[in-house]
């Protein structure tokens, strides 16, 4: 195919500008390499972990008692070697260290990978409790296996629980890659920093948003379109948002939040409370509360505006 000479002439300065801008960025070693974790490799690692947390469900072969130990062990060994490499790259990028020579980055990645490995039985226990919560909370669910195979809420929470372990270990970049992958597939956006208790069930789930510092107790349930968000963003002296402060809601045990409800700020929703559909809530409520749209409208009138 004959090339257009005008295009070739226009191409060179654009390539030069793009390369120059890239080289001014951060995250390269002393030899100028751009070092970043591979999104595709990270997602494949998480899929591998999901296969061993739910052994047999996502395997490409039938499993039985004699092969199960080998299957789990072989998959974990492969996944953890690759994940350690990706964490090394992420640490090198975040700390601006030379990827090729930094012993600290390799040691930090090895330590994080080993700690994640030790936590996997607890992650599996929590996920089994989530599946049980789905079975108990959804009359349309005839057998638990349906939830494992096909429920977007179970998938999103599985990814978040894995990501949360890495987030708690201080691993950069990778936790958000994991949860945003789940977000893109399910419409459920749970930050890896959110702390979630056992038996958590998201029914349907599209449009759910759970912020970084949210805390969700045991046996909580929420429906599509729920937001646990921040009301405001305190700024530092330079006008930048202050990172890491608690700014999202706390749900105590046994709380149900129905479709479209929005709860904002560091407020506490007391144990056993029920927050009705489309409620807008910016204050805490005591245990056992039943909050409806009518009640929030009355509070707005009492306070002369928004609550």
Going from the first residue of the chain to its last (307 residues), give the mean pLDDT of each consecutive group of 10, the final group possibly shorter.
Answer: 69 87 63 82 97 86 80 92 96 87 93 97 98 96 94 98 98 98 98 98 96 98 97 82 90 98 97 97 96 70 48
Per the domain annotation, does 199 fall within a domain? Answer: no
Whether residues 225 and 178 fall in one domain: no
Could you tell me the residue range of the domain that residue 177 belongs to?
32-187
Choose one of 159, 187, 215: the last residue of a domain.
187
Which long-range contacts (C-beta less than 8 Å, at least 24 apart) are formed by 186-190?
186/152, 186/153, 186/155, 186/156, 187/152, 188/152, 188/153, 188/156, 190/156, 190/157, 190/160
For residue 292, the domain's CATH number is 2.160.10.10
What is the pLDDT at residue 64?
Answer: 80
How much is the pLDDT for 67?
82
Q: 167 and 255: one domain?
A: no
Q: State whether 305 and 221 are in the same domain.
A: yes
Judge if 112 and 171 occupy the same domain. yes
Work out the angle between the directed axes of helices 174-186 and 65-95 (0-180°, nearest 10).
120
Residue 170 and residue 81 in one domain: yes
Q: Report the alpha-carbon distance of residue 214 to residue 266 in Å, rounded.
A: 8
For residues 75 and 215, membership in a common domain is answered with: no
Is 16 part of a structural domain of the chain?
A: no
- Each residue of 112-157: pLDDT tens digit? 999 999 999 999 999 999 999 999 999 999 999 999 999 999 999 9
pTM attached to this predicted model? 0.89
User: Which of the listed residues 140, 155, 187 is the one where a domain comes to its end?
Assistant: 187
In a domain? residue 17:
no
Rounded to whole angstroms, how far apart are CA atoms 127 and 135?
12
Residue 5 lies in a domain: no
Is residue 4 in a domain?
no
In a domain, 102, yes or no: yes
Cα separation, 45 vs 171, in Å, equals 15
Tally the domains of the chain.
2
The span from the CA of 155 to the CA of 80, in Å, is 21
Contact 119, 171 (CB under 8 A): no
Based on the domain organization, do 97 and 170 belong to the same domain? Answer: yes
- How do beta strands 256-257 and 250-251 pair? unpaired
* Whether residue 118 is found in the same domain as residue 235: no
Same domain as 234, residue 162: no
Are 229 and 117 in a shared domain? no
Q: In terms of domains, do 274 and 233 share one?
A: yes
Identify the pLDDT of residue 218: 98
Distance from the Cα of residue 179 to its chain's centroid: 3
| 253 inside domain | yes
Q: What is the chain's mean pLDDT, rounded? A: 90
**Residue found under tokens 């092969």:** 67
DSSP 4-41: PHHHHHHHHHHHHHHHHHHHHSS-B-TT--B----HHH
In this prediction, residue 307 carries a pLDDT of 39
Q: In this structure, are 110 and 240 located in the same domain?
A: no
Q: Are 282 and 307 in contact (CB under 8 A)?
A: yes
Q: Classify residue 202: in a domain, yes or no.
A: no
């Amino acid at each position: 195919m004959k090339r257009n000479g005008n295009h070739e002439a226009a191409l060179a300065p654009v390539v030069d500008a793009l390369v120059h801008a890239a080289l001014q960025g951060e995250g390269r070693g002393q030899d100028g390499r751009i070092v970043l974790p591979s999104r595709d490799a990270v997602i494949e690692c998480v899929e591998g972990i999901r296969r061993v947390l739910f052994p047999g469900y996502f395997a490409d072969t039938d499993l039985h008692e004699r092969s199960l130990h080998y299957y789990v062990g072989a998959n974990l060994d492969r996944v953890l070697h690759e994940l350690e490499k990706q964490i090394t790259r992420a640490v090198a990028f975040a700390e601006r260290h030379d990827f090729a020579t930094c012993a600290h980055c390799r040691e930090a990645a090895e330590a994080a990978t080993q700690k994640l490995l030790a936590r996997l039985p607890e992650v599996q226990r929590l996920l089994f409790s989530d599946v049980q919560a789905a079975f108990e909370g959804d009359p349309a669910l005839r057998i638990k296996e349906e939830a494992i195979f096909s429920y977007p809420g179970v998938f999103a929470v599985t990814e978040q629980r894995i990501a949360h372990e890495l987030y708690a270990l201080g691993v950069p970049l990778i936790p958000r890659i994991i949860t945003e992958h789940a977000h893109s597939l399910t419409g459920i956006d749970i930050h890896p920093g959110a702390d979630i208790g056992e038996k958590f069930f998201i029914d349907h789930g599209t449009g759910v948003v759970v912020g970084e510092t949210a805390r969700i107790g045991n046996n909580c349930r929420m429906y599509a379109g729920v937001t646990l968000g921040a009301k405001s963003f305190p700024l530092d002296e330079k006008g930048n948002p202050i990172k890491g402060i608690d700014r999202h809601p706390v749900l105590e045990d046994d709380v149900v939040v129905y479709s479209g409800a929005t709860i904002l700020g560091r407020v506490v929703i007391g144990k056993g409370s029920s927050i009705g559909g489309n409620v807008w809530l910016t204050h805490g409520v005591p245990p056992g509360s039943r909050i409806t749209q009518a009640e929030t409208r009355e509070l707005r009138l009492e306070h002369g505006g928004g609550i």
